[in-house]
Amino acid sequence: MFPILPDEIRTVWEQNKPDPISLELIKIGLVALAGLCCVPFFHRLNRMIFWELLKVFLLSLIGLTGLFLIGGLYQQATQMGLSPAQVLAIIPLLIPFTLPFTIPATTLFASCVVYGRISNDNEAVAMKAAGVDLFTVLRPALLLGVTTTGVTLALSYSLIPRTQQMVQAEALKEPEETMYNLLKRERTLRNPSFPWVVYVRDVQGKRLIDVVVKKKVQIVGPGGTMFNTYDFVARAREARLFVDLDAGEVSIDPDRWMVWGPTSTIDSKDTSPIKVPLPEIFTSAKNDKGRPGLLDWDELLPRAQELEQKRLKILAKGAEMKAQAETEPDPAVKLLMKQQEPMYAAQARDMERQVRNTMYEFQYRPALAVGCLCFAVIGCPVGIWANRSDYLSTFVICFLPAIIVYYPLLLSGGGLAKDGKVPMFVGVWGADAFFGIAALLLTFRLIKR
């Protein structure tokens, strides 16, 4: 046998390496396996508690993820107009997106249920009477919290952004089918940013029945572009759709148009298609590759730095134009340059908003993962003091209040941070800090009791 050289190993790997999604799943599995490998080092009591925690955690995770998945499927199908086949295709892609929200909640629920049962059965009193330190009993919850934190962080690092890109790409695979589904459900196609409006009475397969296309009058005023009454209305008995993603247009090809103008009614025999802009879901799915939620975690900081450089260039260009306007002798040119100052200011504010959104995403993902550890620790003393063994009592006394407090703190703090009203670190990590301090205080009181 000849030794395998490193170059040969590299060649074999390049030829047979799995896809990026599989690689991410392997990494997440390794993180979970590393946590489970710590279990044999526990003594028998810790192992029994941990496996009970794991059993309740997995059962509640499956149930809660299923509920979140139903809501996510309904939202995606409604927003994108997906067909039943497309909905089935995106089910595996939506599961990773729901896990960062369901894993922390189910970690808290498992911790509250298991330690509540231990307290209700007087096992905690028996262990303390036997000389077992309660901190030793809390080790399984700490292990569960650390493991779920690592898994959540691994999911948010790369797998979730990539699956979300695949969900958006699903709508672009069959754009015409998606458009027919949208019209079949909504019976209309409109966008406040465009003057065109399309109505249909029914959709039968690839046929649009009784199509009405209207175009509004475009008026440019002090507040921007506005649309007033219609100056063009066309109607057809039947029509078909043809989508051009590159041009961002959908063509409505009729059997014959009946056209109404501003002054007369014309029975036209013209069968040329009318082109209207595509709905926003198609343009956003195609152009939102730089949206923070679709970027890997290690891409967020370079993206924020890139946006900050653009913002500084815009500010420098605006300051340069302002200085030139002060020395411009021609009043007309000076007035024109002055009128462009608000445009540069608006562009700079938009860049600043994008920077804050990107930095928020950069800190939000690890903050959401650390919430698992906070929930695992706080669930132990709360569950023991609640002294309940049934799921319903635990849900009402322990789980529901914590969830009602934590997520509003996290979301409201993040909103304030994105608006620049509070420091980013305070807004994003405030909920974790609050629950982490509460968990430490409650645990300390429990151990000293």
DSSP output for 127-153: HHHTT--HHHHTHHHHHHHHHHHHHHH
Domain boundary among 332, 356, 380: 356
Say if residue 110 is in the same domain as residue 92: yes
Say if residue 214 is in the same domain as residue 162: no
Domain boundary among 211, 244, 278: 278
Q: What pLDDT was estimated at residue 217?
A: 67
Say if residue 249 is in the same domain as residue 117: no
Say if residue 34 is in the same domain as residue 124: yes
Say if residue 76 is in the same domain as residue 129: yes
What is the count of structural domains for the chain?
3
Q: What pLDDT was estimated at residue 253?
A: 83
Say if residue 48 is in the same domain as residue 159: yes
Say if residue 227 is in the same domain as residue 350: no
Q: What pLDDT was estimated at residue 81?
A: 59
Say if residue 170 is in the same domain as residue 92: yes
Pick from 67, 159, 72: nearest CA to 106: 67
Within the chain, what is the greatest distance between any pair of CA atoms?
Answer: 97
Say if residue 137 is in the same domain as residue 162: yes
Identify whether 263 is part of a domain: yes
Q: What pLDDT was estimated at residue 77?
A: 62
Domain boundary among 356, 371, 401: 356
Say if residue 144 is in the same domain as residue 225: no
Separation of alpha carbons 184 and 53, rounded Å: 47
Using 50 as the pLDDT threshold, list the residues of the chain that sit under it: 1-5, 8-10, 12-13, 15, 17, 220-227, 264
Identify whether 8 is part of a domain: no
Say if residue 122 is in the same domain as residue 79: yes
Q: What pLDDT was estimated at residue 183?
A: 80
Say if residue 368 is in the same domain as residue 433: yes
Identify whether 14 is part of a domain: no
Q: What pLDDT was estimated at residue 367?
A: 92
Q: How far is CA 65 from the centre of its chain?
A: 15
Q: What pLDDT was estimated at residue 223?
A: 43
The parent domain of residue 364 ranges over: 20-174+359-448
Element (H, E) at 189: strand 188-190
